[in-house]
Structure 1
Amino acid sequence: RVRIYVTNRLPEHTTVHWHGLILPSGMDGVGGLSHPGIPPGKTFVYEFDLTKSGTFMYHPHGDEMVQMAMGMMGMFVVHPKDPDFMRVDRDFLIMLNAFDIDPGTYIPRIMTMTDFNLWTWNSRIFPDIDPLVVNQGDKVRVRVGNLTMTNHPIHMHGYDFKVTCTDGGWVPESAQWPEVSIDIPVGAMRAYEFVADHLGDWAIHCHKSHHTMNAMGHDVPTLIGTSS
């Protein structure tokens, strides 16, 4: 059983929705439905039982376009009671986020619906993203959550892997499927596992080329094929 105190230090109402967790309706964190929005300066206490293990997320369900666009989100990992269930040697977690930030500014356009230009992993962009360092022979799990406005086909070089978990729960071994790229839908999490038996430095990236490039301005003119 968990008890979580949420104090609102924003200038507006907020809530916290526990994405994928099974809990009482009053704890689900949808402002005006589950409970009134948490007013500025006030504290709301969420309390519920963790009924299943897996990888889940949390984010506001109040003024979502502003609050989520400013990065208010995170992951909620519930470990199995049995320490040998789905045991791995290294366990990594990646939260995908997107922003619309004009070149030379620091504040994102919070009402953007589709025209994002900055794609982050755990709020960082390459080359500031930490590498996933493992030892040869390690069994590795990578959990990827997507709270952006588009899907992300995450591709890993040098390996194939098996998809072992979604935010709905663990995938039975008989139903796990092999991939080299796994598409992470909007509002979803996918976890995959592999044995690190190939030495080397390998890339991992979203296979949408403009996400790989990153930091692309919207108003850059087309100069290819023009004369000076």
Structure 2
Amino acid sequence: GPTIEVVEGDRVRIFVSNKLPEHTSVHWHGQRLPNGMDGVSGLTQKAIGPGKTFVYEFVARRPGTFMYHPHADEMTQMAMGMMGFWITHPKTKHPLIAEVDRDFVFLLNAYDIDPGSYTPKIMTMTDFNLWSWNSRIFPGIDSLNVRLNDKVRIRIGNLTMTNHPIHLHGHEFMVTGTDGGPTPKSTRWPEVTTDVAVGQMRQIE
């Protein structure tokens, strides 16, 4: 799905129209919001039926990087790539969020697809054979083009079924954010590899 970008304090209204032949919902992974807007079918809301529309509305309460995905028949719908990134930018200058020259986001996903097939196997738990960044496969992934001495931020979300150690060859970086947003400066550390666990987000600079 598209990357949704909002500003801290924005009241957001999202109309989700279900054009699938089955029910669905949208869970706003990591957001602080009213229980009825959390998007977990059968728990916090009635699933959105085929041909129906549900309106999610909440305030983006804190800056950070988040994800969204269905919480209805997750094995099928997430295995088919229904997911996206959400970025809440700070309303004013934030003491923990540095100004950067380039800001990149990558959402990791994995598929198990037989040669010649158009659709992935939806019940696979570990034996994936196709890995994607923003639903794209090498060599179709865009390069990260920056200038010498640019300050760069990369936000990485992992909605696969396995942890991913992310390594930038020839570069050191600081881990500056997690699922909860930017981390205190006293907790940051220099690194060359950071492990992004299942369902987690890491921000590096």
Q: Aligned to 2:202, what secondary structure does the other structure show?
A: strand
Distance 2:98 2:165 in 1: 24
**Partner of residue 164 from structure 1, selected from 163, 176, 200:** 176
Code of the aligned partner of 1:74: G
Between the aligned residues of both structures, percent identity stands at 67
- Calculate the aligned-residue CA RMSD, in Å: 0.9
Code of the aligned partner of 1:140: V
Q: Aligned to 2:75, what secondary structure does the other structure show?
A: helix
**Partner of residue 75 from structure 2, selected from 65, 69, 72:** 65
Distance 1:19 1:86 in 2: 24
1:190 aligns with 2:202: yes
Code of the aligned partner of 1:103: P
Question: TM-score, normalising length from structure 2?
Answer: 0.92
Deviation, 1:114, is: 1.4
**Partner of residue 42 from structure 2, selected from 32, 36, 40:** 32
Distance 2:176 2:204 in 1: 5
Distance 1:134 1:31 in 2: 42
Aligned to 1:4: 14
Deviation, 1:86, is: 2.1
Aligned to 1:22: 32
Q: Aligned to 1:191, what secondary structure does the other structure show?
A: strand
Unaligned runs of 5+ in 2: 1-10
Q: Which has the larger radius of gyration?
A: 1
Question: TM-score, normalising length from structure 1?
Answer: 0.83
Aligned to 1:124: 136
Aligned to 1:102: 114
Aligned to 2:5: none
Structure showing greater relative contact order (alpha-carbon pairs closer than 8 Å, 6 or more residues apart): 2
Q: Aligned to 2:167, what secondary structure does the other structure show?
A: strand
Aligned to 1:54: 64
Deviations 1:179-222, CA, capped at 9 Å, x for gaps: 101100000000100xxxxxxxxxxxxxxxxxxxxxxxxxxxxx
Deviation, 1:83, is: 4.3
Code of the aligned partner of 2:49: P
Code of the aligned partner of 2:99: R
Which residues in structure 2 correspond to 1:212-223 (within 5 Å)? Answer: none
Code of the aligned partner of 1:38: I
Code of the aligned partner of 1:186: V
Unaligned runs of 5+ in 1: 194-228
Aligned to 1:200: none
Give aligned pairs, total: 193
Moved more, 40-49 or 166-175: 166-175
Moved more, 104-113 or 50-59: 104-113
Deviations 1:49-95, CA, capped at 9 Å, x for gaps: 11100000000000000000000000000001114642111000001
**Partner of residue 158 from structure 2, selected from 136, 143, 146:** 146
Q: Aligned to 2:76, what secondary structure does the other structure show?
A: helix
Distance 1:188 1:67 in 2: 19
